[in-house]
A and B are shown apart, each in its own frame.
Chain A
Amino acid sequence: MAKVPPELRYSKEHEWVKVAGGTALIGITDYAQEELGDVVYLDLPKVGARLAQFQKMGEIESVKAVSDLFSPLSGEVSAANQAAIDNPELLNKDPYGEGWLVKATGFDRKELDNLLTAAAYESFLAGLAH
């Protein structure tokens, strides 16, 4: 089963958010990396770029196919993970750690209410299984 850490918030597009002070750390979930398979290319927004909640922020490509990345929050990009751009397999190895995507600042905490708790995301995943 895909790992769903309890302390994070989730989007139905399979991104996660971890808020620490004024910074939100954003990545893709374990379920997402399993579904994608081997990740080989990442296109991430640049530092300073504006993010809009649930809007496209970049692209992720596995050996099989390309998918859009959606931002789980609005805000401004304060960092993009160059290590993940250089070594996209980090997203498969450690999606909640070294394989993070971007950091954002200037976000509205109320938008967190539009995201799923870990329990709700787990139920959402259970609904996707058939």
Chain B
Amino acid sequence: MFVTPLNPLHRAAGARMVEFAGWEMPVYCTGIVAEHRAVRRQAGIFDVSHMGRLELTGPQALGLLQWLFTTDIAALRDDQGQYTVLCHLAGGILDDCVLYRRDEGRFLLVCNASNRPKLLSWTGGWQRRYPGARLADQTRGSAMIAVQGPAAPGLVADVLGPGLLALPRFHLGQGFFQGKPVLAARTGYTGEDGFELVCDSAQAPALWQDLVARGATPCGLGARDTLRLEAALHLYGNDMDESRDPFSAGLGRLVHLDKGPFLGRDALVRLQAQGPAERLVGLRMLGREIARHGYLILDGGRRAGVVTSGSHAPWLECNIALGYVESRLAEPGTRLQIDVRGRRAEAVVVPRPFYRRGAPGGHSRPEETTQRES
């Protein structure tokens, strides 16, 4: 099992550790609900060093990426990133990634930990057609830290430099910690403002401790999952996989058919013309039951789909899910049932995301007893 450069800090803090995609990672430190609320209210800090970080360089790097991904990579400017997917020849999704252009011959690809081996072999295979592109896996030599929440930009700017405050969303900047450069991206996976930082492994513990000392709450993968679900951000392996295409998954905006040839394009042209048989929808439970990954979705007793992610939503204080349903049932307001371990639980299709930062009522919650603050 791999460990991140922050592993000793997690253990010293008493975090509950689990195996995830071959890495030993914290699932929570104080508790999922407290960590989730700390991110919505103030700031949380996550070790995401397990995420794959692949660098593509050389004069044919852009050509290789244009062939692999469904979005138009040529539209990126220096220090700009985009959320994107890559598909196999039948149009199924191989992974969802954030791809950054550092300069015209240098790109950084951040992929799911679970898909890193697959992406390395897939990209390595197609690379033979692009001998002027080089691929390097930088995952093990560095650390990646996400700082998320309304107070996160201020904390990061205090530690790494005030210039980062002006960085637009999905852009890369550079900060300095103890005199050494830290890569800072205005991205995240929580539905909040914040940064994802990449630094040398040796620097990571001191950077983490500095941010925690300034008030960022250490969070684990548990809160990361509930936060992303409230924001209706897809989790690869749950909400999409190689059997789902971008149109079904609600990611049709990432398919740029007019950019020129790319992998899976022919299949995607066909799929777009047909329209998806099933679509990913947001579901809100009407009772107290919680839908979980794999539970069947029913329409009047007949199987109509499957839940792909489901949880209690700690900030919204209701139970929510994502799942695929027959396209005719995908309209918000549609009433469906979910088979919760043999019980029929009522649910309604609702617009995604469930939580939107800054939306009216988005931060208004009932008064509650004081949670532990860091």
Contact = CB atoms under 8 A, between A and B. Distances in A.
Contact of B32 (A38, A41, A59, A66): A38
A110 interface: no
Interface stretch (B126-134, B234-242, B284-292): B284-292
A67 to B, nearest CB: 11
B289 A63 contact: no
Interface in A44-83: 59, 61, 63-66
Contacts of B116: none
A40 interface: yes
Given A63-B226, A64-B222, A38 B31 contact: yes
A76 B27 CA distance: 38
A66 B341 contact: yes
A38 B290 CA distance: 14
Nearest to B312: A40
A64 B32 contact: yes
B341 A59 contact: yes
B27 A64 contact: yes
Interface string B217-249: 000001000100000000000000000000000
B33 interface: yes
B289 A41 contact: yes
B311 A63 contact: yes
Nearest to B32: A63
Given A64-B27, A64-B32, A37 B290 contact: no
Contacts of B31: 37-38, 92
Given A64-B27, A66-B292, A41 B222 contact: no
B272 to A, nearest CB: 37
Interface in B170-191: none
Interface residues of A, number: 11
Contacts of B222: 37, 63-64
A22 B341 CA distance: 34
Main secondary structure of the interface of A (DSSP, over half): mixed
B314 interface: yes
B28 A37 contact: yes
Contacts of A63: 32-33, 222, 226, 311-312, 314
Given A59-B341, A63-B311, A64-B222, A38 B288 contact: no
Nearest to B223: A63
B341 A41 contact: no
A66 B312 CA distance: 11
Contacts of A40: 290, 312
B interface, over-half SS:
mixed
In this complex, the interface size class of chain B, counting residues with CB under 8 Å from chain A, is 10 to 19
Nearest to A59: B341
A37 B341 contact: no
B72 to A, nearest CB: 39
Contacts of B314: 38, 63
B270 to A, nearest CB: 39
Given A59-B341, A63-B314, A64-B27, A37 B32 contact: yes
Interface in B279-303: 288-290, 292
Contacts of B33: 38, 63
A118 B309 CA distance: 39
B254 to A, nearest CB: 30
Given A63-B222, A64-B32, A64-B222, A41 B311 contact: no
Contacts of A59: 341
Contacts of B292: 65-66
A61 B310 CA distance: 12
A17 B340 CA distance: 29
A92 B16 CA distance: 16
A38 B288 CA distance: 15
Nearest to B31: A38
A40 B292 CA distance: 14
Interface in B95-127: none
Contacts of A41: 288-290, 312
**Complex A-B, nearest 10 residue pairs according to Cβ-Cβ distance, in ascending order:** A40-B312, A38-B33, A63-B32, A63-B312, A38-B31, A38-B32, A61-B290, A37-B32, A41-B288, A41-B290
17 contacts: A37-B16, A37-B28, A37-B222, A38-B31, A38-B314, A41-B288, A41-B289, A41-B312, A59-B341, A61-B290, A63-B32, A63-B33, A64-B32, A66-B290, A66-B292, A66-B341, A92-B31
